[in-house]
């Protein structure tokens, strides 16, 4: 019985020491695993850029914040060469708006009226191409923007018909083509405004907002001016409104350049 007790006693002592050593090893292994987990988690967050948009987050400070600032500066520093590298539809759209300004100015001078109509027709042809490409790129999944492009295309086609017709006659039909075309421009611009998520308006890039509002106001000016063409005494004012609307369209296309160039920077 003594030996049994003695053996039991030694066994218990051994088990106690073994348990203590096991606990020490478990704690050490746990610390190592915890460090490895934290390290892996930190690297994962860093690689994903998670929380980098949260200014109150600790990851938005120090090196991560510096990296974010560098990316922001790179996108804001758009060079002229970056604009030249934009797809053709951006160039044709910008040039067409410049031609709208020239054509609208020519309308003020009787001897240049026909030339203004021809320039308008060419500008609308180029604008049609740009908006067809835009509609294809956006796709029907983004319904409002897609329909906006479709309205722009229809408006351009109507303007082409009216511009060519005005080279020969100046009557009710000629003015109505300008009115209808302008309305399609206005509706198209409104559809792009509708596409904005107003619940998250603060997250919308101000440059996008400038593009949409410039097109909307430009379309409104074109529509009002086209109606004023019915009244000969308001003809010059209508032409000036066309120049102003075309200038806003040009501003919108310029910001289109910047937005695209920054997105691929």
Q: What is the DSSP string of the chain?
A: -HHHHHHHHHHHHHHHHHHHHHHHHHHHHHHHHHHHHHHHHHHHHHHHTTTTT-TTSGGGSHHHHHHHHHHHHHHH---HHHHHTS-HHHHHHHHHHHHHHHHHHHTTSGGGHHHHHHHHHHHHHHHHHHHHHHHHHH-TTSHHHHHHHHHHHHHHHHHHHHHHHHTT--SHHHHHHHHHHHHHHHHHHHHHHHTS-GGGGGGS-HHHHHHHHHHHHHHHHHHHHHHHTTSGGGHHHHHHHHHHHHHHHHHHHHHHHHHHHHHT-
pLDDT at 152 over 60: yes
Instruction: Name the least confident of 24-28, 138-142, 153-157, 227-231.
Output: 24-28
Instruction: Name the least confident of 7-21, 84-98, 135-149, 197-211.
Output: 7-21
| 125-138 average pLDDT score | 97
Share of the chain above pLDDT 70, in %: 71
Query: Which tokens belong to 124?
Result: 């609308």
| 190-208 average pLDDT score | 90
User: Domains of the chain: which residue ranges?
Assistant: 2-71, 79-263
Query: Which tokens belong to 197?
Result: 């998520």
**Average pLDDT across the chain, whole number:** 81
pTM of the model: 0.71
Cα(129)–Cα(257) distance, integer angstroms: 17
Answer whether 187's CB lies under 8 Å from 150's CB. no
Neighbours of 233 (CB within 10 A): 7
């Amino acid at each position: 019985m003594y030996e049994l007790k003695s053996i039991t006693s030694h066994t218990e002592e051994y088990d106690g020491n073994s348990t203590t050593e096991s606990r020490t090893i478990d704690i050490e292994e746990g610390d190592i695993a915890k460090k490895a987990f934290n390290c892996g988690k930190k690297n994962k967050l860093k690689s994903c850029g998670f929380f980098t948009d949260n200014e109150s987050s600790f990851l938005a400070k120090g090196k991560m914040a510096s990296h974010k600032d560098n990316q922001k500066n790179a996108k804001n520093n758009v060079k002229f060469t970056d604009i030249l590298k934009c797809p053709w539809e951006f160039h044709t759209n910008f040039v067409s708006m410049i031609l709208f300004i020239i054509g609208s100015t020519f309308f003020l001078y009787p001897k240049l009226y026909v030339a203004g109509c021809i320039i308008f027709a060419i500008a609308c042809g180029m604008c049609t191409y740009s908006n067809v490409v835009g509609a294809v790129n956006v796709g029907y999944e983004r319904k409002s923007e897609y329909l906006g492009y479709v309205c722009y295309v229809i408006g351009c086609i109507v303007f082409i018909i009216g511009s060519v017709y005005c080279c020969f006659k100046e009557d009710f039909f000629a003015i109505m083509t300008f009115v209808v075309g302008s309305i399609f421009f206005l509706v198209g611009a409104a559809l792009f405004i509708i596409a904005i998520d107003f619940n998250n308006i603060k997250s919308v890039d101000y440059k996008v907002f400038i593009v949409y509002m410039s097109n909307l106001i430009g379309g409104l000016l074109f529509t009002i001016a086209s109606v004023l063409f019915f009244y000969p005494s308001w003809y010059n004012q209508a032409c000036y409104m066309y120049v102003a609307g075309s200038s806003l369209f040009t501003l919108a296309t310029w910001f289109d350049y910047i937005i695209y160039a920054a997105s691929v920077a």
